[in-house]
């Protein structure tokens, strides 16, 4: 499904990774690992098309991503470090905006998506009045509203309590079991029921930042 060949990226005259080859298939989960500064977030952003500062090749279903970028973005859900929500809007308003931006007419599913993340009763309050964990849940609820083949998640467990972590792990495993492809970074020790492969970026660094 997703394949990289000979990826190379440097920042501030330091090689983050080089000669990086990997492939991600349907029904597979991969955790990107590495020490601080090894390029985990940078790699995810490159794979999503949000960072063009690299050399090498990335293919989607056998075709160069740059030639099928519109199709690729329709099939990918990306979650970065930040919750990516407008805190002045309510959860319902945020998710309506997200559906509109993705061309998805899923407004009738918004309440059930929020309920799946334990946000009943919070649908219409401004997000700035919610805790960091609740804001993260609003952001994660977007995954319930669109059908994609690939989830690329950067530290998705940030700010979640134990129950939230368990629920998200179960959701990720369900996605993989149903044929989805998952690529994520996390400092959390995963306890998922599905197998998770690993890419250790320290193997591809010139000098890893071990601070």
Residue 114, classed as helix, strand or coil, is helix
Please report, in angstroms and rounded to a whole number, the separation of the first and last CA atoms in the chain: 34
Assigned domain for 43 exists: yes
Average pLDDT of span 12-24: 92
pTM for this entry: 0.91
Tell me which residue range forms the domain holding 10: 2-86+147-203
Sequence-separated contacts (24+) of 165-169 with Cβ below 8 Å: 167/117, 167/118, 168/140
What is the tally of structural domains in the chain?
1
Q: Rounded CA gap, 191 and 169, in Å?
A: 7
Q: Is 33 left (phi over 0), alpha (psi -120 to 50) or beta?
A: beta
Q: What CATH number has the domain bearing residue 193? A: 3.40.50.300
Q: For the chain, state the CA radius of gyration.
A: 17
- Does the residue 13 lie in any domain? yes
pLDDT in tens, 130-161: 999 999 999 999 998 988 999 999 999 999 99
Better-scored residue on pLDDT, 76 or 205? 76
Q: Is 93 a domain residue? A: no
């Amino acid at each position: 499904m997703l394949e990289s060949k000979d990826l190379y990226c440097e920042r501030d005259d330091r090689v983050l990774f080089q000669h990086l080859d990997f492939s991600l298939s349907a029904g597979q989960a991969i955790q990107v690992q590495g020490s601080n500064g090894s390029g985990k977030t940078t790699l995810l952003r490159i794979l999503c098309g949000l960072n063009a500062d690299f050399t090498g090749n990335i293919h989607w279903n056998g075709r160069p991503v740059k030639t099928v970028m519109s199709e690729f973005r329709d099939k990918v859900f990306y979650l970065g470090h930040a919750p990516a929500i407008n805190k002045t809007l309510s959860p319902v308003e945020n998710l309506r905006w997200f559906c509109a931006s993705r061309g998805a007419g899923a407004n009738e599913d918004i309440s059930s998506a929020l309920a799946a993340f334990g946000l009943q009763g919070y649908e219409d309050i401004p997000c700035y009045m919610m805790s960091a964990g609740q804001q993260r849940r609003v952001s994660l609820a977007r995954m319930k509203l669109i059908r994609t083949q690939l989830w690329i998640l950067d530290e998705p467990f940030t700010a979640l309590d134990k129950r939230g972590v368990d629920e998200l792990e179960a959701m990720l495993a369900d996605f993989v079991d149903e044929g989805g492809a998952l690529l994520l970074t996390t400092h959390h020790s995963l306890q998922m029921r599905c197998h998770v492969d690993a890419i250790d970026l320290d193997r591809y660094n010139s000098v890893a930042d071990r601070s």
